[in-house]
Amino acid sequence: MIPAAFDYVRARSLDDALARLAASAGSAKAIAGGQSLLPLMKLRLARPETLVDIGRLAELRGVRKLADGRVAVGALTTYDEMMADETLGHYGLLEDALPNIGDVQVRNRGTIGGSIAHADPASDMPAILLALDAEIVARSARGERALPATSFFEGAFSTALEPDELITEIRLPGGRDDVGSAYRAIEQPASGYSIAGVAAVVGARSGDRWGFCAVGVTGVGEHPYRASPVEAAITSGASLEDAAAHACDGIAVASDIHADREYRAHVATVIVRRALEAAIARLG
């Protein structure tokens, strides 16, 4: 339970951090809250030679409105800071999910950027960003790029980030009056990670059907995904029950000692339905 020996350096600025990461050729890792990295290091499953501490880079913290109406959440913003932010309070799915992430220590030390970069296939934030069609801004010494969430999560603990890139902010769509959103999950009781976690955004009612539906699912597949067959069923007027039955279409459903393939696939449909119901209820 003691990490292998490592060097530690505190970044003086974002550019300093990026320069160090670029020069290290993969032997250095950034650390912010450390809530995912430190446990891995203690088990010696991760053995970075150098930790570059970016935790004090204030420019990466905080929530702000962008000119185009979107909301930018700095990568170093903690879950607790997000819970306290008034703008984010309008997002029902964040209201549901944030208080249940980890525990008090995790919520005060863990950052949204860290969670997304770590990409645990059962963590909650990726499903939420997928359902919100968020944009993830990554910077390196070579420049900056914006990655859509829908192509960001490539595998378990694997993202589109290059080793020398840091996430600087995550851009969420601006609030809408015509949609409701919700997050529902069934957890594995030991770790609290989701066996199936679902973020749903539904709205834009037009006639007898919903014009807008986005469903992000975590815990079920190799990596978090958008349940497009569910979305298509909803927007073509299917009942919630019928739409939810498509929760795992085309997905290699995961299996472990807590939930095997059969149960996990079933409970995914239940949680998808409950998330859709709760999202619709928020529309009043």
Question: Which parts of this chain interact with other proteins (CB under 8 A)?
Answer: 1-2, 4-5, 186, 188-191, 257-260, 262-263, 266-267, 270
Would you tell me how many other CB atoms lie within 10 Å of the CB of residue 172?
23
Exposure pattern of 148-157 as b/e (b: 16+ CB <10 Å)?
ebbebbeeee
Three-state SS at 215: strand
Q: How far is the CB of 278 from other proteins (least distance, A)?
A: 14
Q: How far is the CB of 69 from other proteins (least distance, A)?
A: 38
Q: How far is the CB of 1 from other proteins (least distance, A)?
A: 4
- Comparing CB distances to other proteins, the nearer of 189 and 284 is 189
**Residue with tokens 């190799």, as numbered in its chain:** 222
Q: How far is the CB of 34 from other proteins (least distance, A)?
A: 17
Measure the CA–CA gap between 8 and 118, rounded to whole angstroms.
Answer: 20
Q: How far is the CB of 192 from other proteins (least distance, A)?
A: 9
Among the residues of the chain, which ranges form H helices? 14-24, 37-42, 79-84, 92-97, 104-109, 112-118, 124-131, 228-235, 240-244, 261-282
Q: How far is the CB of 100 from other proteins (least distance, A)?
A: 12
Three-state SS at 171: strand
Q: How far is the CB of 212 from other proteins (least distance, A)?
A: 26
Sign of CA dihedral 117, 119, 124, 130: positive
Q: Are 103 and 130 in contact (CB under 8 A)?
A: no
Write the DSSP symbol of residue 110.
-
**Rounded to 5 degrees, what angle do the CA atoms 32, 170, 106 make?**
40
- CA distance to 6, 120, 234, 276, per residue, from 253 (Å): 37, 15, 22, 21
Instruction: Say how many residues make up the chain.
Output: 284
Q: How far is the CB of 235 from other proteins (least distance, A)?
A: 24
- Comparing CB distances to other proteins, the nearer of 205 and 258 is 258
Q: Pairing relation of β-strands 194-206 and 28-31?
A: unpaired
Measure the CA–CA gap between 232 and 244, rounded to whole angstroms.
Answer: 11
